[in-house]
Structure 1
Amino acid sequence: MRNDTPKPKATDLRTWLAHLQTTGRLAVIREGVPLKHRLAAIAKRLDGKQAAYFPKPAGHTIPVVSGFVSKRGWIAEAMGVEQDGLLAAFRHAAEHPLPWREVASSEAPCQQVVTPMDASKDLNTMLPIPTHSEHDNGPYITAGLVIARNPATGVQNVSINRIQVHGRDRMAILMLPRHLLAFYKAAEAEGQALDVAVVIGADPLTLLASQAITPIDHDELEIAGALHGAPLPVVKCTTNAVRVPANAEIVIEGRLLPQVREAEGPFGEFPKYYSAQEKREVIVVDAVTTRTNPIFHTIVPAEMEHLLLGSIPREATMLAHLQRSFPGVTDVHLSVGGVGRYHLFVKFRKAREGEPKNVILGAFGAHYDIKQVIVVDDDVDVHDPQQVEWAVATRFQADRDLIVISGAQGSVLDPSTTVATGHHDIDEPAPPHLQGVGAKMGLDATRPVSYRGYIFTKVRIPGELEIDLAQEIVPGAAVDWHGVGLQ
């Protein structure tokens, strides 16, 4: 996006969807699309091309939208920056959060309609919750921001968790070993439920902020405010003290119950495989609040919206982490082929031999999800997998440039770690101390600091980058192939 292009104001979901519609990037689907499989299938076919808007899915009065941040450039556009400034802008927001601004319920669109849960209410009919993949065990909320308060400090945490709706007012949730689970365990140790809110239909920048990698007791809604350039308006829930984005579409208020576990899964996750069914923690719903005529957001698992929301904040964090120790690091990229989590490409300006191996080790220490690191020189575009593969093909030798680390903690959602530990029976999951344990691999695909002649000089043609093809190609011209001349 050019610097003089008006910057869209993605202050809420509707503003952003209107912008996508006026720029031809939102497809309105026919009414009545089934919520089971069909809706997700259509959204997947449009993935990265257009957002999909489903009016009256399965006859439901609430529409569903998906895929509105399914391209890297769209996310940069929502932030009002050029694509190459995306990581720097996110990093600046994460390092300079803005405290949120609390508003009254009367000023909060997300509480225009308040519905307390009782025996006559059922989430499955109140909300249009899709079933996405073939073997998913029922309908799932996949784009819900789960917000909870630290029982000890009151500071909030925001995350996106998969949530299976399997009862009238009950939902099973997957919590990985991060801040939300720490809050829950602290409350459970005291025999207390943990108050939570599940926010559906947040704006793109608040969605992105929810995925920031921060220390505990850093409220991601403050990062959202920094991304917006103004404190985020929030409102107190109607049944608990959790604060939620006031401009959201839908809020489910509830409690994570202590000492209660119910079956959840299988579910098609971001590695493009199914997670096994296991006993998970349970949310009981106390109330649902919405805008008038709300919009339900769903993320199609393992597609670009899912992968980018996770990868871009991680990239910003990884870049900041590596640059503190290695100033020669100029860019990083979590590849789509590596599901936006596991494979990291690092662009590095090497000054001494051996440095890339230190960079590799630093990257593994930055986040346990990282499974493979490839370090390339600064003449390689880490956002182009073909260039990275070229660097490996021509600058890497396995006997001297490969690092393998065995028995390291990785992602518990990586199915290859389950097989490696011998626990691949759906009825017998690996014990917690073995979940996610596997190997990590680093590749130093950099050229030597010193080399003879042009042996490692990248081939270029002078002036190739400055060519303006519009000035060089003759429009409408054709060749007379008999006389071999221009017609």
Structure 2
Amino acid sequence: MAPLHVEKSFDSLRDWLRHLAATDRLAVLKEGISLEHRLAAIAKRLDGDKAAYFPKPGGHDIGIISGFMSKRAWIAEAMGVSQSELLAHYRHAAENPRPWVEIEKNAPCQQVVHRDIDVRRLLPIPTHSEHDSGPYITAGLVIARNPVTGVQNVSINRIQVHSERHMALLMLPRHLHAFYKAAEDAGQALPVAVVIGVDPLTMLASQAITPIDHDELEIASALHAQPLQVVKCLSNDVRVPASSEIVIEGRILPGERHTEGPFGEFPKYYSEKEQREVIEVDLISHRERPIYHTIVPAEMEHLLLGGIPREATLLGHLRGSHPQVQDVHLSVGGVCRYHLYVRLRKTHEGLPKNVILAAFGAHYDIKHVVVVDDDVDVHDPQQVEWAVATRFQASRDLVVVHGAQGSVLDPSTTLYARSHGEGADDATVHGLSAKMGLDATRPVHYEGHVFTKVRIPGEQEVDLDEVLCPDTPFDVDQS
């Protein structure tokens, strides 16, 4: 597949915010909004309508931005493509990463350096949800190098700030955790950088689903019109985007744990209090007059950031075995993780069920799959529900898989494990889930028009401006 044309590249957060402001999609709030709940409440009210900028939040000199990626159309716009091209463009970048370019000096993210560290004094870190256990960094790109190969990994991890120099983070059993375990087994700390305030495409690239030892900054480089500029950290060998707003440099300590949570997560429930690994901060650098980015958990910016990269990966995976698959969508109602809609051109009976099983195997988060025909728009939940209502029969078209691996953040999995006699405290059954697939496709062959979708000829070609008479009053007695 040839690379898609990108008309304009937004190479920094500031470039993108200027664009949003110029197109009336950035709201500037009053100064001094409280960092505890109030800021998140306002950002949530504006979610999906406008990005929110908070000057001097809680009296802090550093302003906060939230919600600048809260619409699917905005993300496509940042890429310079249409919404229909969004997944294809992202997939192409993920499959064809491009090396970044390292600069030696004058990186914007290192204009100001702090070595006398008090994270909560230096940075305006909000407390978001009602029962959150404290202030959290929610939009920090955690970048680390594999201690064996030196290849970097980029991820977003929730980070609770506990004290002047120490922060606890959640690491799921993925690449960052594998790097940490390798370092910890050798009795060493893992050097990391927590990067706050990057452009939309670098944020999106951080969520790519790739094999280990694939640097997501190279995917970011491929998404941009020009290679991504990076710079070496001042206290370790991690490379970070040079145009970042803020960089926290530190080390994940071996053998050290601290209480973290509860925290309101993407399923719109709270995660439990647990003992987590600890980052010790060595220094903080930032731009002059930096902008701090916070993501309001479980709102559209959070959901889309995780959903779109997963969609692109799932689409590629399913098409690899089933080229009849045309499109996929992780629904907002399924928190852009758990509910997958698949559109395909059905050529054989039984094909939808094979696609359902392939989707379950593609990512363990997938809990429910609905497969529809190619006359249904998977991005329109009303059309998907219509297909289920008129083309699905539970006795024939339902697929149920018991005892599969699911999301550890889905609270219903704990109840499922208990109902099956598994101990809730047994780590090996965390996330144990049942899966459900619905084949909402019509038969390949059917009589007459029993499954023909009703259409009115010429409906799409009607130009209402040509046929309406807006200045003509209605007269009930006219003949």
Q: Report the CA distance between 1:372 and its aligned residue.
A: 0.7
Unaligned runs of 5+ residues in structure 1 are none
Moved more, 240-249 or 470-479: 470-479
The match for 2:276 is 280
1:465 aligns with 2:460: yes
* Structure-1 separation of matches of 2:110 and 2:462: 55
Q: How does 1:219-234 map to 2 (within 5 A)?
A: 219-234=215-230
Aligned position for 1:53: 53
**1:304: which partner in 2?**
300
Aligned in 2, Cα 1:296/1:265: closer, same or farther, shift over 3 Å? same
Percent identity (aligned): 70
Does 2:256 match 1:260? yes
Counterpart in the other structure of 2:442: 447
Alignment match of 2:375 (pick from 376, 379, 385): 379
1:364-443 equivalences in 2 (<5 Å)? 364-422=360-418, 430-443=425-438
* Secondary structure of the structure 2 residue equivalent to 1:52: strand
Count of residue pairs the alignment pairs up: 472
**How far apart are the structure 2 equivalents of 1:430 and 1:45?**
38
Q: What residue in structure 1 maps to residue 322 of structure 2?
A: 326
Q: Distance in 2 between matches of 1:144 and 1:112?
A: 19
SS in 1 for 2:77: helix
Structure 2 counterpart of 1:133? 129
One-letter amino acid matched to 2:80? G
Q: Distance in 1 between matches of 2:243 and 2:407?
A: 33
Q: Match of 1:64?
A: 64
Q: Give the whole-Å Cα distance in 2 for the aligned partners of 1:484 and 1:279.
A: 78
Q: Deviations over 1:65-120 (max 9, x none)?
A: 000010000000000001110000000101111001000132x100000111x4xx
Q: Supply the AA of the counterpart residue of 1:174.
A: L
Match of 2:338 in 1: 342
Between the aligned partners of 1:430 and 1:270, the Cα distance in structure 2 is: 22
1:88 corresponds to:
88
1:22-37 alignment runs, 5 A limit? 22-37=22-37
Name segments (4+ residues, structure 1) moved above 6 Å. Answer: none
Matched, 1:164 2:160: yes
Match of 2:414, SS?
Answer: helix
Question: What corresponds to 2:114 in structure 1?
Answer: 115
Q: Counterpart amino acid of 2:351?
A: E
1:190 corresponds in structure 2 to 186
- CA deviation map 1:171-222 (0-9, x unaligned): 0000111100111111111111000000000100000000000000000000
Partner AA of 1:280 in structure 2: R
Q: Is the 8 A contact 1:114 1:290 kept in 2?
A: yes
In 2: Cα distance, 1:477 partner to 1:169 partner = 71
Give me the whole-angstrom Cα distance separating, in 2, the residues matched to 1:10 and 1:430: 46
After superposition, the Cα gap between the structure-2 partners of 1:218 and 1:37, relative to the gap in structure 1 and judged at 3 Å, is: same
Distance 1:274 1:180 in 2: 23
Q: Which structure 2 segments of 5+ residues have no match? A: none
Q: Determine if contact 2:342/2:378 at 8 Å carries over to the other structure.
A: yes
- For residue 44 of structure 2, what is the aligned residue in structure 1? 44
Distance 2:472 2:280 in 1: 69
Which whole-Å deviations, capped at 9, do the CAs of 1:423-445 have from their partners, x for residues lacking one? 9xxxx963220110110111100
Deviation larger for 471-480 or 248-257? 471-480
Distance 1:429 1:351 in 2: 44
Q: Residues of 1 paired with 2:53 and 2:478: CA distance?
A: 52
Secondary structure (helix, strand or coil) at the match of 2:179 reads helix
Amino acid at match of 1:92: H
Task: Name the TM-score, length of structure 1 as normaliser.
Answer: 0.95
- For residue 53 of structure 1, give the secondary structure of its aligned residue in structure 2: strand
Paired with 2:108 and 2:136, the residues of 1 have a C-alpha distance of 24
Q: In 2, are the aligned partners of 1:98 and 1:230 still within 8 Å (CA)?
A: no
- CA shift for structure 1 position 10: 1.2
Partner residue of 1:295? 291
Provide Cα deviations, 1:409-433, integer angstroms capped at 9, x if missing partner: 011100000122239xxxx963220
DSSP 3-state at the match of 1:224: helix
Q: Distance in 1 between matches of 2:463 and 2:426?
A: 60
Using the size of structure 2 for normalisation, the TM-score is: 0.97
The CA distance in 1 between the partners of 2:165 and 2:229, in whole Å, is: 28
Task: Tell me the alpha carbon deviations over residues 196-252 of structure 1, each in whole angstroms, 9 at most, x when there is no partner.
Answer: 000000100000000000000000000001000321100000000000000000000
Paired with 2:330 and 2:35, the residues of 1 have a C-alpha distance of: 32
Please give the alpha-carbon distance, in whole angstroms, between the structure 1 residues aligned to 2:8 and 2:153.
27
Give the deviation of 1:480 after TM superposition. Answer: 2.8
Residue type matched to 2:150 in 1?
G
Question: Which of 198, 201, 216 is the aligned partner of 1:202?
Answer: 198
Deviation at 1:7, TM superposition (A): 4.2
Cα RMSD, aligned residues only: 1.4
AA in 2 matched with 1:430:
D
Q: Is the 8 A contact 2:417 2:424 kept in 1?
A: no
Q: Is the 8 A contact 1:105 1:236 kept in 2?
A: no
Q: How big is the shift at 1:473?
A: 2.0
